[in-house]
Structure 1
């Protein structure tokens, strides 16, 4: 019995030691390195791409900038590493990147099998279809027997197979690992249609030589909650990345903006705002961060509504409606846990 008790004590000690090491592993490595390694896509307008000024831009990019501000004190200490749909989780598991912020769908299989943990839902999306207007296709059923350009290992590939099989439809596929090759092949007529998240299709269409010659069909065939992943097992790092995302969502609800955050931090009497910005209590200590971690993140990127508007909403070329990505008080699905 004594040996059993000692064994249990040792197991508990080792678990705590491993947990502490896991905590130190990513956050401390980021601080020691002085930069955050962010895995992104290189060509998804509105989410992660290089803009006309030669700078990384988009909603996924801003999430990394906010994490960098919260952890390192500056949004500019980010190293962007381009990943593909095929190598993104390998890059995360190997430590090549600290965050995978690449409009990646949260699924049970990915959480359970790929050595990765999901953080905050950053964008609610759904899978749709795009084809050339000249083909006269009005709905997905008209694509029976069509050829699709696809990326391997994506939820889009699996959803297409499930959807067509359930309806007795058939299709042929041409597979491309690199996104740019896939879209280039589609524009050259090597396939009849594309299927991807609707935001991705709409963003890519803006880059086509003749965008008006391509149509996005009305059907939406899946739920695609998109967001960032971190390496599995580092619970504190997951907490940090998750809560940075939630802080930006909470900031929108509390009407804390990039412009007024600093003033509110010193002058507001609203206790919810004070707790978020670090002037009441010390939520930062629980995350291993400074008191003003959320203030720094908001100052770096603005709140969630500002990020959405700037990159994909009313102030962007994409002009997406908020829809499910509106705050819950406005009929959407976005809200954060209480900051207390």
Structure 2
């Protein structure tokens, strides 16, 4: 059995990790770390775990934890892992970090967008960006996984095949994304109160959202050059889910015509036809958050706008599963040579 520890087990992503790992036949959770609830019963914080988890919350002493487990999941705020990670810890265990501490390869970009000093930049180079469908082979041999963000996972996977194959001009890419409120975490914040969120939609982080450089960096690797995108997130009154609608100019063929539906579909099938967790929908079927809720699936599709010469790309996922905990478990499976879908064959919930 793989012994796993979770630091940040009482946040939404941490609790989702617990839910998924309880159904994983090869994993035993031995550490439910939570600085806010030390010595409290985990099931008293999340009543859905009553008679499923008979353990108290422990602290976040990662040095002690590293000696006891094979893998540590850190579902913590930005800056935590960067502030405590050492070579000794990494020599003892593998780490899947759900924060942004090691996602960006340029430390100055991280410090600019996250407004904090990076305390362990020496580990940035070796960290592998844990987007399994893109970096599968590098993940298998890693010690430190930078689990991608929720908006970024949806935004990148939706556009990746067309950027990689040069069917769109990535400098024209505009991403309009919407998220349920669980994406903001469990902490008490006035903008997330029921009366603030219910019957309301709003843009936030306009031109400043911290997932922007992550999207640009990863799609830049696909394009083979640096790119800039417009990314605007919105908060919608639902618990879970992300829907990304993306717009980009198509690159015309030598004869001046636009790529056809069949040509673009063939590119998506080339990259995702054998992927377990990316579903390319049938023609004219738009992704919806309700059809991926509670699952590790990403649904994607596209529509060509002949009139403007642009293509509209669409993607939907559950921000707590494929956007966080599910992807973290997918990474863990790769790290330990397990079937990639072990513990993740979660049928989407409806209604």
TM-score, with structure 2 as normaliser? 0.21
Higher relative contact order (CA 8 A, sep 6+): 1
Q: In terms of Rg, which structure is larger?
A: 1
